């Protein structure tokens, strides 16, 4: 019945619009689509997989020129959709992500699209294999729709790159989308896909979630294999996902965690037996906030009143009132160690980056094959004053005298964090992802972020939308803000459960106004080519001078 109706609409549209590029109203509205809503529409024959993919491509064609979040589309996306439609027709539907369009941060290896990390020097980097987490997504039926922009090589939080240009925040076109997974965040907020992936060395999955009214998970170190992802830091790197709903986030995590132990990333050996093969979507149901003990990290706030800090403090205060009224107990955590300035001194990225990047590149069939190949090429982004991060990485290594003391201090911090959980009998720590709003375009740094604690200790964090600032001319529905929920190792299920309750209590998420309209469906012969806009790279970031 539904299928017949669909065919009728199509025929009518063909008859009424005698143009080569005729359009019709999509029978299924992909705005705020979830895994369940796509599946319901497919299984009741309201739409087809090709139609779902075409609708997202049409949105990208329409809205991406405003936010510049996409580096490339996958030329095989429509043929994959056709294969899934054939399976649908024959009743062979398997996989939790059957026909779910996913955008990958462009530092995840894909065999069918270049993996550039937004760096001109890597424009032709064509990995032979998918990263294991990408293969797991495809095995579950996901359609890799394309690659999202990032801060170049995932090294900072502004989301500007020499190959991808500057990605813009969809809620306030004068601000960054956070980062480094900023393209993944901006694209998902603007409804360019159902899910996206990201990586996080200090803040990079959480800052884009916060700045784009999304949920994200940075899992416990070891839960997800980092193999086949362009690396920054052995100690701090994590891969994860972003979603518009907690449920979709839980499914993405479940699928990516199926990789399990991976000899190519020895941190995956740490996963306890009882965590292997867990279905995180099952953890969402039942339980409540009543009786939970949540530690509020006082040192992760900026109480100096200003237009950039006060909205964050007000949103957190409202969130805390909601949590209390739902029966949670809030405990003030005032230990001096929870000081992001002091914790930043323990960051070990620049000791680890050079050798890890070279290890990743050395197996490639063609140059660049090393850190030096990239950073002497001139084909990357630098600050006018040089690039201190790269200068430091060029001269330091894990053999540097300061490295082992830093690792020792990280171990001590991890012990202190466990002690905080134990002494206050906590279920999780909460704090704003940023002490202030996500910064304006052209700012030299993404200041005020609180991601360092989880990055150093390898703790899991689920980030949830906590509010919007008041609407203004620049932000017609306000600037989004997010809260981190940090847990003990392997407590992803608990954190996702808390996130679901918070999400239902507060109902914060909304679409970016500029992209909240419907887009007419289009018929594509082939997947269109999207070219990133590199014209608007801020003057502070000239390309290619070492
Ligand atoms: C269903 O599709 C999968 C994936 O393409 C394939 O491996 C499998 O053989 C198919 N099963 C049947 C019964 O056709
Ligand atoms: C784990 O892997 C890292 C990076 O590949 C390597 O440097 C380290 O030696 C490995 N550790 C052990 C104990 O095998
Ligand atoms: C706190 O916020 C104020 C006002 O925005 C700002 O001037 C100050 O630098 C911030 N302090 C820290 C430590 O970030
Ligand atoms: C916790 O800190 C807040 C302000 O940060 C304060 O208003 C509240 O009284 C403190 N609660 C306790 C029990 O100390
Ligand atoms: C946080 O640490 C920095 C650097 O160690 C220090 O200057 C600052 O006073 C500390 N802040 C607080 C509130 O203790
Ligand atoms: C789109 O955004 C505008 C401005 O915030 C708002 O008035 C309108 O209701 C939104 N439409 C939808 C469908 O969300």
In angstroms, rounded to a whole number, what is the distance separating the alpha carbons of residues 78 and 526? Answer: 7
The alpha carbon dihedral of 259, 263, 268, 273 has a sign of positive
Selection from 383, 380, 387, 384 nearest residue 119 by Cα = 380
Tracing tokens 């969402």 back to the chain, one arrives at 284
Q: What is the pLDDT of residue 300?
A: 98
Q: What is the pLDDT of residue 14?
A: 39
Given a contact cutoff of 8 angstroms between Cβ atoms, the answer to whether 455 and 202 are in contact is yes
Residue in 88, 92, 94 to alter for ligand 1 test, most ligand atoms within 8 A of Cβ: 92
Cβ atoms within 10 Å, residue 159: 37
In angstroms, rounded to a whole number, what is the distance separating the alpha carbons of residues 114 and 127? Answer: 7
Q: What is the pLDDT of residue 179?
A: 96
- Chain-centroid distance of CA 505 in Å reads 23
Tokens of 214: 């999304």
- The arrangement of secondary structure in 2-535, i.e. its CATH architecture, is Alpha-Beta Complex (3.90)
Ligand 1 near 363 CB (within 6 A): no
Q: What is the pLDDT of residue 382?
A: 72
Ligand 1 near 83 CB (within 6 A): no
The alpha carbon dihedral of 258, 264, 265, 269 has a sign of positive
Q: What is the pLDDT of residue 541?
A: 55
Q: Which atom of ligand 5 is nearest to the CA of 339?
A: 1
Q: Which atom of ligand 4 is nearest to the CA of 332?
A: 1
Q: What is the pLDDT of residue 11?
A: 38
Q: Which atom of ligand 5 is nearest to the CA of 299?
A: 13
Selection from 487, 482, 476 nearest residue 506 by Cα = 482
In angstroms, rounded to a whole number, what is the distance separating the alpha carbons of residues 113 and 285? Answer: 38
* Domain residue extents for the chain: 2-535
In angstroms, rounded to a whole number, what is the distance separating the alpha carbons of residues 424 and 297? Answer: 12
In angstroms, rounded to a whole number, what is the distance separating the alpha carbons of residues 304 and 302? Answer: 6
Q: At what angle do helices 349-362 and 388-395 cross, to 10 degrees?
A: 80
396-426 b/e with 16+ CB inside 10 Å = b?
A: beeeeeebeebbeebeebbeebeebbeebeb
Q: What is the pLDDT of residue 19?
A: 36
Ligand that comes closest to the CA of residue 509: 6
Residue in 172, 477, 479, 518 to alter for ligand 6 test, most ligand atoms within 8 A of Cβ: 477
- Our CA dihedral for 247, 211, 319, 239, rounded to 10 degrees, sits at 50
CA of 312 to the centre of ligand 3 (A): 12
In angstroms, rounded to a whole number, what is the distance separating the alpha carbons of residues 225 and 257? Answer: 8
pTM: 0.94
Selection from 483, 487, 445 nearest residue 464 by Cα = 483
In angstroms, rounded to a whole number, what is the distance separating the alpha carbons of residues 279 and 286? Answer: 15
Strand residue runs (E) in 255-392: 293-297, 329-333
In angstroms, rounded to a whole number, what is the distance separating the alpha carbons of residues 21 and 400? Answer: 61
Q: Among all residues, which ones are annotated catalytic? A: 105, 180, 204
Given a contact cutoff of 8 angstroms between Cβ atoms, the answer to whether 146 and 532 are in contact is no
Ligand 3 near 313 CB (within 6 A): no
What are the per-10-residue average pLDDT scores of the chain (546 residues)?
35 37 70 98 97 98 98 98 98 97 98 97 96 98 98 94 96 97 98 98 98 98 98 98 98 98 98 96 94 98 98 98 98 98 96 98 92 91 78 95 98 98 98 97 89 98 98 98 98 98 97 97 95 81 39
Q: Which atom of ligand 6 is nearest to the CA of 31?
A: 13
Atom 8 in ligand 6: residue holding the nearest Cα: 513
DSSP helix/strand/coil, 491: coil
Cβ atoms within 10 Å, residue 488: 18
Measured in degrees and rounded to the nearest 5, phi and psi for residue 462 equal -110, 130
């Amino acid at each position: 019945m539904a299928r017949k109706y669909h065919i009728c609409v199509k025929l009518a549209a063909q008859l009424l619009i005698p143009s080569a590029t005729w359009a019709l109203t999509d029978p299924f509205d992909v705005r705020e689509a979830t895994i369940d809503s796509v599946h319901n529409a497919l299984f009741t024959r309201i739409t087809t997989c090709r139609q779902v993919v075409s609708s997202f491509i049409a949105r990208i064609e329409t809205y991406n020129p405003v936010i510049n979040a996409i580096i490339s589309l996958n030329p095989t996306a429509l043929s994959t959709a056709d294969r899934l439609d054939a399976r649908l027709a024959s009743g062979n539907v398997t996989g939790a992500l059957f026909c779910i369009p996913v955008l990958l941060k462009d530092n995840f290896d894909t065999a069918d699209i270049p993996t550039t990390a937004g760096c001109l020097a890597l424009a032709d980097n064509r990995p032979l294999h998918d990263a294991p987490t990408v293969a797991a997504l495809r095995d579950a039926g996901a359609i890799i729709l394309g690659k999202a922009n990032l801060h170049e090589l995932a090294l900072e939080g502004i989301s500007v790159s020499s190959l991808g240009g500057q990605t813009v925040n969809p809620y306030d076109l004068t601000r960054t989308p956070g980062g480094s997974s900023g393209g993944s965040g901006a694209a998902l907020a603007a409804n360019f896909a159902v899910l996206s992936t990201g990586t996080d060395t200090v803040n990079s999955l959480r800052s884009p979630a916060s700045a784009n009214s999304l949920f994200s998970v940075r899992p416990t170190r070891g839960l997800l294999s980092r193999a086949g992802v362009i690396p920054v830091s052995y100690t701090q790197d994590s891969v994860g996902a972003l979603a518009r709903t907690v449920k979709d986030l839980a499914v993405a995590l479940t699928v990516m965690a199926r990789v399990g132990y991976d000899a190519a990333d020895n941190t995956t050996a740490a996963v306890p037996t009882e965590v292997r093969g867990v279905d995180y979507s099952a953890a969402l149901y039942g339980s409540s906030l009543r009786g939970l003990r949540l530690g509020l990290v006082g040192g992760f706030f900026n109480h100096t009143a200003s237009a950039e800090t006060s909205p964050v403090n007000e949103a957190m205060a409202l969130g805390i009132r909601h949590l209390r009224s739902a029966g949670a107990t809030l405990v003030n955590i005032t230990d001096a160690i929870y000081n992001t300035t002091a914790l930043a001194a323990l960051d070990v990225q620049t000791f680890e980056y050079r050798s890890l990047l070279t290890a990743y590149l050395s197996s490639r069939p063609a140059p660049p094959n090393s850190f030096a190949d990239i950073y002497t090429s001139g084909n990357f982004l630098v600050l006018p004053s040089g690039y201190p991060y790269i200068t430091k990485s060029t001269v330091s290594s894990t053999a540097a005298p300061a490295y082992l003391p830093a690792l020792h201090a990280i171990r001590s911090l991890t012990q202190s964090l466990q002690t905080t959980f134990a002494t206050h009998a906590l279920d999780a720590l909460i704090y704003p992802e940023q002490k202030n709003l996500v910064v304006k375009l052209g700012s030299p740094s993404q200041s005020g972020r609180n991601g360092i604690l989880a990055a150093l200790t390898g703790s899991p964090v689920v980030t949830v939308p906590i509010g919007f600032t008041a609407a203004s001319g620049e932000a017609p529905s306000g600037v989004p803000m997010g809260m981190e929920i940090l847990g003990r190792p392997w407590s992803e299920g608990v954190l996702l459960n808390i996130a679901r309750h918070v999400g239902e209590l507060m109902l914060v998420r909304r679409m970016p106004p500029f992209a909240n309209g419907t887009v007419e469906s289009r018929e594509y012969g082939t997947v269109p080519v999207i070219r990133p806009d590199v014209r608007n790279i801020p003057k502070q970031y000239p390309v290619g001078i070492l």
